Amino acid sequence: MSVDQITIKGAGGLRLAAEKLGDEKAMPVLLAHGGGQTRRAWKRVTHDLAEAGFCVIAIDMRGHGESDWSLDGAYELADFASDLVAIAAGLDSKPAVVGASLGGLAGMIAEGELAPGSFASLTLVDIAPRMETSGVMRVVGFMDQHVETGFASPQEAADVIARYLPHRRKRGAGGNLRHYLRESDDGRFYWHWDPLFIRNVMGSNRLDPERHEKQVEMLSQAACRLRLPLHLIRGGSSDLVSEEAVAHLRGLVPHAEYTDIADATHMVVGDSNDAFSATILKFLKHHHQSTEAGS
């Protein structure tokens, strides 16, 4: 099954790089990655979903991967959410949206605040309105650490990732890692996203408590308005989404379905891809028809 490399338009016509896989007439599933990642984070998942009969579209979020950078540094959650709304509006039918971390936050704002009714369903991958500040700071600290200095080589970046994810099998500086890096004119390698992203959205590695509480309130209000099928998938060892955060979301959205994937961290898809694919397919097949199901 071949993958089509396509370009789609986000809010304001911003060019977003994407991959499409599966029957174009089938139920669309839109995959929105987490901060600092690219569409390749879903590589195995896209094939699993396409083989199950869905039309899968995995995007590079604005400022990430091969997508355009925002000239005015528009990287607030509402900006990412507006892109998802624009993409959904350009499809023949409402997509099932699967958002990891940043992608999930954008999905909540898009469906719960900006344009209710845009999506057919929403899956949140280890993200909720209330997040553990220690987990957020760990993620922000990692992303902020080398944003200015970059790396002398892809191998140096691989070593940094290995220290950040000690539970993962260490990988070398192969071709897959190079998709997450861009080589600058100075000969150094930098993460493949706009440095303004970490500054504008994630803040510095010192989390502002007041800003954090305002964001929690904004996301909570958006979650309260969600009427579509909602699925929260949590990594059982996540340091960002606690059991209390799960209870908080389920209190806001009583009809939400919940799955805990044991031994996975915040990086659920990469940690337990097979379990994740099985979980998301069960939810999607329950709520939506795929071509395999006879649509």
H or E stretch at 209: helix 209-224
pLDDT digits (tens, 9 = 90+) for 100-146: 999 999 999 999 999 999 999 999 999 999 998 888 888 877 888 88
Cβ-count burial of 156 within 10 angstroms (0-12 exposed, 13-18 middle, 19+ buried)?
Answer: middle
- DSSP label at 47? H
Tell me the C-alpha distance between 261 and 272, whole Å: 8
pLDDT digits (tens, 9 = 90+) for 224-276: 999 999 999 999 989 999 999 999 999 999 999 999 999 898 889 887 889 99
Position 216 confidence tier, pLDDT thresholds 50, 70, 90 = very high
Percent of the chain with pLDDT over 70: 92
- DSSP label at 11? G
pLDDT digits (tens, 9 = 90+) for 26-39: 999 999 999 989 99
Closest by Cα among 142, 161, 152, 158 to 184: 152
Give the mean model confidence (pLDDT) for residues 210-226.
91
Residues β-bridged to residue 181: 191
For residue 201, CA distances in Å to 81, 140, 150, 197, 215 come to: 13, 10, 20, 6, 11
pTM, whole model, 2 decimals? 0.91
Tell me the C-alpha distance between 140 and 211, whole Å: 15
Residues β-bridged to residue 234: 260
For all residues of the chain together, what is the average pLDDT? 89
What does the longest C-alpha to C-alpha distance in the chain come to?
Answer: 54
DSSP per-residue string spanning 82-139: HHHHHHHHTSSSPPEEEEETHHHHHHHHIIIII-TTS-SEEEEES--SS--HHHHHHH
The phi, psi pair for 111, rounded to 5°, reads -80, -35
Given this model, what pLDDT does residue 147 score? 86
